[in-house]
Chains A and B, each alone.
Chain A
């Protein structure tokens, strides 16, 4: 059996399924590192939120809840389309899978465009991190600290969105080339897992940053 699929998988695995399983475990382990990396930022945020509740409350009102909620919905939809891309290739429907990848990519673009508008508004009001903070409206001491968190957390998240987009584009290119079918689609699934983590992190970022009561 394995002889006919000899070209389908690396020589140290016995089968495509074996390779797929190993790759999936590898991707989950990589996602652990992403959780720990972002997690550090959440830990810092949590600690300071507790120490300076009034300042966080005042500063967060500067964030645009509507844009934040819209972006949340955009990412959730993109998670669906990503999952559908995999569902379609599992059923050997390359055409629909490619369509889903395109929609996912466009959702990601939308997300970044909205973020561009948000960041512009902040820059306009001088609500920047650290040294660059020039806003005079906020009364609380150390309000710059909130915006340091805002920019670092959404910035690194945005970077991961960009990386995700590059990965999706790569998968699309490979799918176009005919690399994937119902039997072999590991790379699509693994990029999908990465994309869902990007969505997951935003699920936590949105209420913490935008909806502090």
Chain B
């Protein structure tokens, strides 16, 4: 095989088959980007429809039955098609090997298989949507309703089951890659923090996702055979379903947010031209967050009928989750302080993250307090909280990362003006949409309700208008990336003067990432440090 030193990975082979059957982690990463951004737009359309319905009390554009199906689809598509696969599959795949100086991930064929598992799972879901009846259980599929209702629950959860395996195999691949494929000189403490974050995420993917698998399998068997694990009439316990479900789904939210934090840890030092404050603290906090995330799932079940003892334990432990996240927030802020800050598009998104994830995290602690959650559970306060962490956390960081690494991935620059504009429209729209929902929640509006009391109308309208701004921003973001891919100006190899390994590679990288395997002698954020 020729050492394709001057041929970038796009030119290394041609034709659609060379993409669909590729073993190149970079091409697989690009395919994930396209798929997950498309999923974001689809899930976003469901959200816009939901918000239009909620513009006025009573029936606005759809019946209650349709509404229930739409919010179920919005949740399921956003969680399983978009948020979980996006950062690890797209940016993790593209950059993890490059950042540690490897030629590829440990198991390239498994990597491609992961991608096709995602597609297959999505097709199962499409099947359940097209043949119907679309499930209206909410994306959490709680029993006993999910057992009794007539929706296409089985095909939907089997799709999720398959997508779960995509996630597991990606995590497995990344763990082995980090352990076994680091280039000479790349010790653990010289790895970029994005790699630490992906590593923590991968542990969660491998350990927690199988429990979702068995949960959905049991749900399917219960629908067919009435085995009774979750049915009180047969001696079972519906709350046990919730234990099974949330044992995965709580670590899942850290699968969503840890990679996002990893991206922020990359952008902030580069855009401040200053070494990260507290490298080891941030690295350990990624692992710490992964560990603690296994201990708190019951805080989703405070009002479900858990025993007092369990409620108490889960509430207490939830407070601990604040610590690793807070460590990161402080360290990022300390990094920016007295740095030489460039307010480029990626940096704007990263700063936006600090604001929105801060709110999201703090309101999470609020909800973790048992006495408060008794009142806020199942209200719009919860909806606002998780949108602040998922959209104001993962999505905003994904956009930051896509802009940050766009020149490296494509060799071109995105449009900076539109980039900045899209940030401001997104930021204003996002906060409008969801601060309104905090207000609604505090005033007692329940979630997943098709109708509401007239007193909630005004804030609902504010929220809906905000959602239109988000929609506009989404189109600008995706449009900018798409157009710039074809028509953007040529970008240099290191437009931001980054110090981590990926900036030493070509833009776009060659097939095996580096012409010669690099030897690393310094950390990834050593700005202003002279090397021999």
Q: Give residues in A with beta carbon < 8 Å to B.
A: 10-13, 18, 21-22, 25-26, 29-30, 32-34, 36-41, 44, 47-48, 52, 55, 129-132, 141-142, 144-145, 148, 151-152, 156
A11 is contacted by which of B103, B110, B206, B207 (Cβ under 8 Å)? B103
Do B209 and A148 have beta carbons less than 8 Å apart? Answer: no
Do A12 and B227 have beta carbons less than 8 Å apart? Answer: no
Top 5 closest pairs, chain A to chain B, by CB: A142-B235, A148-B227, A130-B226, A40-B214, A36-B210
- 30 A-B Cβ contacts within 8 A? A12-B104, A22-B107, A26-B106, A26-B110, A26-B172, A26-B173, A26-B176, A32-B207, A33-B206, A38-B214, A40-B210, A40-B214, A40-B218, A40-B244, A44-B240, A44-B244, A48-B229, A55-B235, A129-B221, A129-B225, A130-B225, A131-B225, A131-B226, A144-B227, A145-B227, A145-B235, A148-B228, A151-B227, A152-B227, A156-B217
Chain B nearest CB from A26 CB (Å) reads 5
Chain A nearest CB from B254 CB (Å) reads 16
Residues of A within 8 A of B162 (CB): none
Do B228 and A29 have beta carbons less than 8 Å apart? Answer: no
Do B180 and A21 have beta carbons less than 8 Å apart? Answer: yes
Q: Which residue of A lies closest to B107 (CB)?
A: A26
B-side interface size class: 35 or more
Chain A nearest CB from B107 CB (Å) reads 6
Do B225 and A22 have beta carbons less than 8 Å apart? Answer: no
Q: How far is the CA of A141 from the CA of B172 in the complex (A)?
A: 44
Chain B nearest CB from A148 CB (Å) reads 4
Residues of A within 8 A of B215 (CB): 40
Residues of A within 8 A of B222 (CB): 130
Is chain A's binding surface mostly helix, strand, loop or mixed?
helix
Q: Does residue B479 face the partner (Cβ distance < 8 Å to A)?
A: no
Residues of B within 8 A of A29 (CB): 172, 175-176, 206
Q: How far is the CA of A40 from the CA of B248 in the complex (A)?
A: 11
Identify which of residues 224-270 in chain B touch chain A, using a CB-to-CB cut-off of 8 Å. Answer: 225-229, 234-237, 240, 244
A145 is contacted by which of B210, B211, B218, B236 (Cβ under 8 Å)? B236
Residues of A within 8 A of B168 (CB): 33
Q: How far is the CA of A130 from the CA of B223 in the complex (A)?
A: 10
Q: Which residue of B lies closest to A146 (CB)?
A: B235
Chain A nearest CB from B298 CB (Å) reads 14
Q: Does residue B441 face the partner (Cβ distance < 8 Å to A)?
A: no
Chain B nearest CB from A142 CB (Å) reads 3
7 new A-B contacts, CB < 8 A, other than A26-B106, A36-B210, A145-B235, are A12-B104, A32-B207, A33-B207, A55-B235, A129-B225, A130-B226, A148-B227
Q: How far is the CA of A12 from the CA of B25 in the complex (A)?
A: 12
Do B179 and A25 have beta carbons less than 8 Å apart? Answer: yes
B209 is contacted by which of A21, A33, A142 (Cβ under 8 Å)? A33
Residues of B within 8 A of A55 (CB): 235
B172 is contacted by which of A18, A30, A130, A132 (Cβ under 8 Å)? A30
Do A152 and B221 have beta carbons less than 8 Å apart? Answer: yes
Q: Does residue B130 face the partner (Cβ distance < 8 Å to A)?
A: no
Q: Does residue B126 face the partner (Cβ distance < 8 Å to A)?
A: no
Q: How far is the CA of A54 from the CA of B217 in the complex (A)?
A: 28
Do A18 and B180 have beta carbons less than 8 Å apart? Answer: yes
Q: Does residue B372 face the partner (Cβ distance < 8 Å to A)?
A: no
Q: Which residue of A lies closest to B215 (CB)?
A: A40
Chain B nearest CB from A194 CB (Å) reads 14
Residues of A within 8 A of B236 (CB): 48, 145
Chain A nearest CB from B121 CB (Å) reads 16
Residues of B within 8 A of A144 (CB): 227-228, 234
Do B227 and A37 have beta carbons less than 8 Å apart? Answer: no
Do A142 and B228 have beta carbons less than 8 Å apart? Answer: yes
Residues of A within 8 A of B237 (CB): 47
Chain B nearest CB from A33 CB (Å) reads 4
Do A141 and B235 have beta carbons less than 8 Å apart? Answer: yes
Q: Which residue of A lies closest to B226 (CB)?
A: A130
Q: How far is the CA of A141 from the CA of B235 in the complex (A)?
A: 8
Residues of B within 8 A of A32 (CB): 206-207
